[in-house]
Amino acid sequence: MIYIMIFIAIYGLITSDNIIKKIMCLNIIESIIIFSFIKAGCLTNGIAPVFEGFDKIYVNPLPQALMLTAIVVGVCFNSIALSILIEIYRKNKTISVRELRKKINEQF
Amino acid sequence: MNNSESLKIIILIFAVIPLIGAVFLFLTKILKGKKFGYIFEFSLLIQFITGCFIIWKFDGIPMKIQLTSFKIIAPFFEISKIRIIFLTLYLLMIFFVWISRKRKITFDTINPTLIFMFFLSGCSGLVFSSDMFTYYVYYELMILCSYVLITGDEKYYAALKYMIFNSVSSMFFLGGIGIHYYSQGNLIISGETIKDTQAITLFLIAFLIKGGFFPASSWVPTCHSGARNIFSGCLSSFAISTGVLGLYRFVIAPSEINGFLIYPEIIKYVSVITIILSSLFLFFEHNLKKAVTHSTVYVMGVCGMLLGGGEKELVFIYLIIHCFYKMFMFMLLYDIDYSDKNDNLCIKTNKSGKILFILAVLFAGGFFPSFTYFAKMAFSQYFPGIKIIWYISMFFIFAGFFKFNFIVEKGRPTQKKKIFFMSTALSIPIIGIILKKLLLLKLLIVKIGFFIKLGGIKGFLSKAIIALLTYFNSKLFDIHQYFLIDVIVLIAALTLSKWLISLDKRRIEKLIANFSEDLNLELFAILLLSAICINIVYFQNI
């Protein structure tokens, strides 16, 4: 499933002309990385890492803590990317990469 | 408190200083104060002094600092010789920002200044951070602020391109961190701990993109030329250099220790292609600012070549010198009138501006006695046929800059201060090279003692001159040989540049523009590069 998702995201990133689709593809790749990171730290019989005694099996809390930071970074990226996109649309009335390039070349 | 303890505390607070400044700036914004510039300058000054103090206190012994009070995630910092050289690079950048502030050519409103302080915090955190996740967070802070600062002059396409390329490289980086963590169980950045080839391959691709190497080099001219001149200087001198630092820390250092010889080879080949293509693109570039940024890509290629050859310290010293002339070139652009799409390729400037720009171009291309000139002597042994590639690229760089017609306008004011700073900046590398290459410091001290003992100051001076002349004489053949070819290349560039640019230029330019500015094509090229790297690593069975 992870491989299929990565393939879809990379295909979309390379072929799509729409900037929103490109940002979405980047988000998919980021989500896959975060998911794989957390999945690898998971144990089948492990419980959440809140201390309940020495006899319990806990999942590794480090990947979760790290990925929380990565999610925050991803949210920051999305907010900036979309705000730039809004400005691009206001100025050029398009969100297509090719049309944007054409318009920029015409301006100069 | 002893020496090492005080140093530890200062290293920990170093990256926080711009953040504290940003908080005060924010308070100024709330209170609607107009003198925010003083807070900005003061925090720059404090960080500069702190940085100088760290350099002064560092005694050459590497030191590790771990915040053990954070039990789950312990941020890890380290100080070593390479970090000190990189810190010098950062302090230089601050110094130039401060000069630009004095000349009132930097950010003039409170919001960009505030974001710029966050950018500085990200940059300074990168210098000492020694665990992967702290490094990642500081890196993201730096580039997130860069996106916003590039859009300052409504260059939204440049910001978008910067964003896509850097986020793709961050994905590779994050993936590498994940693989490394599950193979080794730690996040420490060091040659001993990074052993997994899958992780190293992902780090390699991530930092090749961040460093502006081929095939991901075309974002550099678009993005760096989109920002304001002084911020373009910061991006070209420091932000892109972090890619080279990453290549060293995540790829070269582990490869050396674990014997993965394939990675330096990959970096060398990629660097050669970067050197050739960047010089070619520079030649066909009509925008002067973009031409300057193409030369940044060329420098990154040279750095990659040196790094692949194992000249670690030389790379970082070279980056410091690159910071000098690149910042000056971007500052000079304030005094030069040029058009973005000018068919006559005219540059209007004053006499001093023309002289300084020519000097900076000679240094960028690697003419004697620039540091690049000495660097090429160092790396000519690492790669077959590098000398020919070197001279071809040098020709294109000189021809690329000298194709512009300089029009000297007499009415423009001359700037004596700038000439003083430029000449000082250009002379420091030469002094440094002489000290490093010709007079090894210890040897010099022994010789001084010996000569004074022999015949006082008079005798010492005469014998010192004789010793220097003898040394130059022994080295003369090498210097003479390279210098002559340099002069021939320069003359050829001066004579042929205008003729070459007139040859069917529209078609070639269109071809290069299509090749270098197609976003999807570049992303496909990155995918291809990653596939090739992964295949090479697996076929080598390491």
Q: How do residues B158-203 score in pLDDT, each as one tens digit?
A: 888 888 888 888 888 988 888 888 888 778 888 788 888 888 888 9
Each residue's pLDDT tens digit, B211-244: 888 878 878 888 887 777 788 888 888 888 888 9
A28–B contact, CB cutoff 8 A: no
Contacts for B442 with CB less than 8 Å, ≥ 6 apart = none
Q: What is the pLDDT of residue B481?
A: 57
Q: Shortest CB distance from A87 goes to which of B156, B523, B527?
A: B156
User: Which domain does A84 fall in, by range?
Assistant: 2-107
Whether residue A77 and residue B168 make contact (CB cut-off 8 A), yes or no, is no
Distance (Å) of CA B443 to CA B437, B447, B454, B468: 12, 6, 16, 13
More confident residue, B39 or B410: B39
B chain contacts of residue A69, beta-carbon cutoff 8 Å: 133, 137
Number of A:B CB contacts under 8 A? 84
Nearest CA in chain B to A30: B171
Q: What is the pLDDT of residue B482?
A: 62
The phi and psi torsions of A18 (rounded to 5 degrees) equal -85, 130
Q: What is the pLDDT of residue B443?
A: 44
A chain contacts of residue B133, beta-carbon cutoff 8 Å: 66, 69
pLDDT(B156) > 70: yes
pLDDT band at B449 (very low <50, low <70, confident <90, very high): very low
The top-scoring range by mean pLDDT among B54-58, B236-240, B358-362, B409-413 is B236-240
Residue with tokens 């530890």: B8
Each residue's pLDDT tens digit, B471-494: 554 554 455 556 666 667 777 766
Each residue's pLDDT tens digit, B505-533: 566 666 666 666 667 777 777 777 777 77
CA dihedral A50, A56, A61, A62 (to 10 degrees): 140
Q: Which two tokens stand for residue B351?
A: 């006499």
B319–A contact, CB cutoff 8 A: no
Rounded mean pLDDT of B496-505?
A: 62
Distance (Å) of CA B355 to CA B323, B351, B406: 19, 6, 10
B419–A contact, CB cutoff 8 A: no
B131 DSSP β-pair partners: B188
Whether residue A37 and residue B178 make contact (CB cut-off 8 A), yes or no, is yes
Q: What is the pLDDT of residue B44?
A: 85
Whether residue A108 and residue B523 make contact (CB cut-off 8 A), yes or no, is no
A chain contacts of residue B527, beta-carbon cutoff 8 Å: 10, 14
Rounded mean pLDDT of B418-443?
A: 53
Q: What is the pLDDT of residue B78?
A: 80
Q: What is the pLDDT of residue A35?
A: 85
Number of domains chain A is built from: 1
Q: What is the pLDDT of residue A63?
A: 79
Mean pLDDT of chain B: 75
B338–A contact, CB cutoff 8 A: no
Rounded mean pLDDT of B344-354?
A: 69
Pairing of strands B76-79, B63-66: antiparallel
Give me the sign of the Cα torsion angle B450, B453, B457, B463: negative
pLDDT(B53) > 80: yes
Give the domain CATH number at A79.
1.10.287.3510
Rounded mean pLDDT of B321-338?
A: 75
DSSP B143-158: HHHHHHHHGGGT-HHH
Residue with tokens 């957390």: A38
Q: Lowest mean pLDDT of B94-108, B221-235, B244-258, B411-425, name the range.
A: B411-425
Rounded mean pLDDT of B407-433?
A: 59
pLDDT(B445) > 50: no
**A28 to chain B nearest CA, in Å?**
11
Q: What gap in Å lies between CA B202 and CA B177, rounded to an integer?
A: 9
Q: Lowest mean pLDDT of B8-22, B34-48, B301-315, B328-342, name the range.
A: B328-342
**A60 to chain B nearest CA, in Å?**
10
Whether residue B171 and residue A33 make contact (CB cut-off 8 A), yes or no, is yes
pLDDT(B438) > 50: no
Q: What is the pLDDT of residue B150?
A: 84
B113 within 8 A of B25, measured Cβ to Cβ:
yes
Start-to-end Cα distance in chain A: 46
Q: Which two tokens stand for residue B480?
A: 């003479």
Q: What is the pLDDT of residue B447?
A: 44
Q: What gap in Å lies between CA B38 and CA B93, rounded to an integer?
A: 18
The phi and psi torsions of A12 (rounded to 5 degrees) equal -65, -40
